[in-house]
Structure 1
């Protein structure tokens, strides 16, 4: 397998240990849609194509990144603090295929049986594990790579944290986003991304943005003003005059039409500030969760190598010999013994 390459690290960053964070539901959803036609069943006869694809990609990511520790985040499928706050959260999404639901419900037990750290925060989501892992890495001076398809994770990108944004090409066709690459894509810095998303909104979560403020205007506003705190302060205390002047100055320099007065009028419209604040609340990941990581204690959950017999038994239950062999080599460091499984 071709290794997944990190961008050239700074001298200090090169000395840090690496925490790999996997948004398990992202992998399960993508593998369900990509692999459903295989009809793969585990040894008990239950659907396993999404589970197998998730496990296979986790193994490939471990082989490529060679992390010192790994945590997998899962969604609490029995309760949602965000949905309690906003019943229409994620409304409008297509109803999940029952076979996908079955595999989502079994994922945590499978990962735990394998010996990986699989965390389901009560009432929360894998996004919150991503946020907490990014904070943990910063506070412990580790590097961190988050594997997810969720754009909310872009707010965690920093000198310590990168995001491997899953797209249709799989792990090797997905971009590894750094602060510079994020800015090139959206025109905002990572520490501005949450504000940018709150202004723009997120249709996938059924969160409308501030009316009349699209992605382009949001990026320009943040670039010119520096922060939404500065914008709101100027609106509150000076009617937005400084924001208008800054935006119109930018327009004059770049040769486009002036947008200052229009942008300020939309930001001062009834409900605009409340919409922005609400989106920030909904989009902010909880970053204070206990990940249970004790990396200096040998044998702790989340560390490698894993028990070879456990790996063979658990991955072997999925019924794909090639994946069992790969898992045995990568996760336990042991040579894979022949197994009487059908290859798929």
Structure 2
């Protein structure tokens, strides 16, 4: 198949590009009427529209990090430990960006315990094997290892997200003098400041390239470390374990279990009314014109099908469930679930022996899923909210209270429990399942794939 006839898969590191856009555009020039800063969203969508015009992908997805925590921080707690706190002006922009992308017919993907680059590496590997031409957009140099004859990295410059350098195999060799798959071995020896991975002292890029070229691989460099002379040889013998650790951590995962594959990412119609609604809140008039023009050039629809979340075949409209943690969760709780807001719904996702796997929190028209893994995320805001008098409605609150207590969480602020209300109305009933109560009193069928309506299925939103 000729390159022109091959389908084209474009995969984007959402957080990486959003942060670049955040620092490229003036903060105070992009604030909507609610006081929400929007510069990262504006820059990201502008970059995306240029990519769609220039690369003309047939398939498309944007991957986001759920948290700064992953299997890498369990392996090495200092991983990325030098990164500064998220700027307060950036907080709240990622959920709005995801909402805008969904309206534009674009699938977004997250995976608990993995980074966005692992998602990109998995999709790139599968796309390449399936005959796609793959373009990866990321500002993380670890992404260089994905490059091969079918995969090209589009790397943004320091000036922002509009100027992209195309790294194919030839470009990587021209820049570094190595094959793409060898780049992380160079980085393992030199170290990576952005990830807080300390390399071997006295070893710079030129020395690392020389060793990898001479011996063929990092393993062989370490195997022959006694043959390397001078001060750098002494440092390698003393500190080679750093390189071993770094290589283990900077190796991207190419077999992440994802709910979608390349074939599922075919570009979908733009939901113009939804785009208008989102962009009106963001006050993006010029971008709205550009997206509308894009929709007119292709197919537009009044119904968005962008989310990877399962939708209910019948019954009430269910909001898209977004997975949040860290600062984004704290922002959502302040916005939707503070003490002065109407009660929100809280649901607990249970595992074996009533262990807590996650929580669902639902406000009017907005629902989030919070994966729970003690010690693997910043849950301070969640813990404080659960223990505060912020009003909550919980179905079967007794079970939830006990499970949360075993997980080290305190539940207060209870304002209602449909199970108790149903018992008071009819103590002799045989079923207190929430789905049965909804059908009995509201004549609505809850989605079978999501019986609690607050917590997504195991693979939803991943």
The verdict on a shared fold, with TM-score over 0.5 as the criterion, is yes
Q: 3-state DSSP class of the match of 1:317?
A: helix
Structure-1 residue corresponding to 2:251: 284
Q: Specify which of 175, 198, 205 is matched with residue 165 of structure 2.
A: 175
> Is 1:208 the equivalent of 2:203?
no
Q: How far apart in 1 are the matches of 2:293 and 2:261?
A: 24
Q: Cα–Cα, structure 1 residues 232 and 285, in superposed 2: closer, same or farther, change >3 Å?
A: same
For structure 1, which segment, 90-99 or 188-197, has the greater mean C-alpha deviation from structure 2 after superposition? 90-99
Q: Cα–Cα, structure 1 residues 140 and 315, in superposed 2: closer, same or farther, change >3 Å?
A: farther
- Higher relative CO (Cα under 8 Å, sequence separation at least 6) belongs to 1
Q: 3-state DSSP class of the match of 2:48?
A: helix
Q: How far apart in 2 are the matches of 1:332 and 1:229?
A: 54
Mapped contact 2:125–2:254 kept (Cα < 8 A)? yes
Mapped contact 2:21–2:43 kept (Cα < 8 A)? yes
Mapped contact 2:27–2:89 kept (Cα < 8 A)? no
Q: How far apart in 2 are the matches of 1:328 and 1:290?
A: 35
Instruction: Report the count of equivalent residues.
Output: 300
Q: Cα–Cα, structure 1 residues 172 and 12, in superposed 2: closer, same or farther, change >3 Å?
A: same
Bigger strand share: 2
Q: What's the TM-score once normalised by structure 1's chain length?
A: 0.78
For structure 1, which segment, 175-184 or 32-41, has the greater mean C-alpha deviation from structure 2 after superposition? 32-41
Structure-2 residue corresponding to 1:247: none
Structure-2 residue corresponding to 1:90: 80
Residues 1-344 of structure 1 aligned to structure 2 (within 5 Å): 12-42=2-32, 44-77=34-67, 79-235=69-225, 239-240=226-227, 244=228, 260=229, 262-269=231-238, 271-272=239-240, 274-293=241-260, 302-331=266-295, 333=297
Q: Cα–Cα, structure 1 residues 124 and 73, in superposed 2: closer, same or farther, change >3 Å?
A: same
Bigger helix share: 1
The structure with the largest alpha-carbon Rg is: 2
Structure-2 residue corresponding to 1:7: none
Q: 3-state DSSP class of the match of 2:282?
A: coil
Q: 3-state DSSP class of the match of 2:61?
A: strand
Structure 1 unaligned runs (5+)? 1-10, 245-259, 337-344
Q: Cα–Cα, structure 1 residues 19 and 278, in superposed 2: closer, same or farther, change >3 Å?
A: same
Mapped contact 2:60–2:266 kept (Cα < 8 A)? yes
Mapped contact 1:307–1:332 kept (Cα < 8 A)? no
